[in-house]
Amino acid sequence: MKKAATIFTLLIAGVLYAQQPFKHTLKLMGSRFDITVVANDSTEANGYIDLAVNEISRIERLISSWDANSQTSEINRNAGIHPVKVDAELFNLIQRAIGISKLTDGAFDISYASMDKIWKFDGSMTVMPTADSIRNSVAKVGFQNIVLNKENSTVFLKLIGMKIGFGAIGKGYAADSAKDVLISKGVVSGIINASGDMNTWGKQPDNKEWNIAITNPMNKNKVFALLPISNGAVVTSGNYEKYVTFNNIRYTHIIDPRSGYPATGIISVTVFAPKAELADALATSVFVMGIEAGLNRIEQLPKVACIIIDDKGNITTSKNIEIEKS
């Protein structure tokens, strides 16, 4: 009996090791997605990847503010007019977003979409906007003006011209949803990389954990650190590619929705969390809040950690993480 059990164990191990990772790169939600699944062969892997793509496309149809037929666009069209009934999934996503807004004192805010686009990070901006124009640019921003009615599943934006958008959370949510679908179909391991929003589960076929590379913000062509992650998400936000400089101050493309001014002082934030949606939102928020306030919020949350690099190259980590440079 013991011998049979041993043979059975070896057979199982052999099956697992026979599996291998298969990766496809696609453009979804206007961004690059790398979808990796561990499967027995390419036919099986392609079927799984198609399931992930279908789920990500479904999420995009639900939350896209560029699609006139989406429920998000319907909410925006009726801002200041009347509430809009939405699917429970979208209602719950908005409700969670408002929860993160409260946690971060408004540093994260899906109504940032109401902001006037007065900052340009394409090299064409030569003069800093005036204080009045910056203040006016966020006049219609404010999560407090998003009214939810759970009983009726409706969303109402109080101000005419107000908008919501999921640019700072949507890809993370799509990665989470695709991961859940694949797990439900029996995919034992994989990675969803939504333009840097990484979501992993399981381990590699040789039973080693997945290693996530953190880009060196001082040299984006080099890896700063390699960190193992087996079931969770990691998101890095950086301003080393999109920024403007006025009076020797670097202003990042990540803008504080409360003031209208771009974040300063930080060039990279990496957040580890159970869900990519949360990591995505927090990475942006820490940029806006700054190192001290950002760490304070991160360390209040279970199973969440972060690495912050300032514009002098100094590294700050939350208490529950240790890193080794590569």
Which contacts (CB < 8 Å, 24+ apart) does range 322-326 have?
Answer: 323/214, 323/225, 323/227, 324/225, 325/224, 325/225, 326/213, 326/223, 326/224, 326/225, 326/226
pLDDT at residue 123, rounded to an integer: 80
pLDDT at residue 10, rounded to an integer: 40
- Residue pLDDT, tens place only, 214-238: 776 666 667 777 788 878 999 988 7
pLDDT at residue 215, rounded to an integer: 72
0.85 exceeded by pTM:
yes
pLDDT at residue 2, rounded to an integer: 41
CB 305 within 8 A of CB 272: yes
Q: Which domains does the chain possess?
A: 20-63+169-317 (3.10.520.10), 71-157 (1.10.3980.10)
Contact partners, residue 323, CB within 8 Å, separation at least 6: 214, 225, 227, 307, 315, 317
pLDDT at residue 248, rounded to an integer: 82
Model confidence at 240: pLDDT above 70: no
Q: Bridge-partner residues for 193, per DSSP?
A: 34, 198
* Overall average pLDDT of the 33-40 stretch: 96
Mean pLDDT of the chain: 88
Q: Residue 239: phi, psi to the nearest 5?
A: -115, 20
- Residue pLDDT, tens place only, 112-168: 999 988 988 888 888 899 999 999 999 999 999 999 999 999 999 999 999 999 988
- More confident call, 142 vs 263: 142
Three-point CA angle 106, 110, 116, nearest 5°: 95
* Rounded-to-integer distance, Cα 239 and Cα 235, Å: 14
- Residue pLDDT, tens place only, 268-316: 899 999 999 999 999 999 999 999 999 999 999 999 999 999 888 888 9
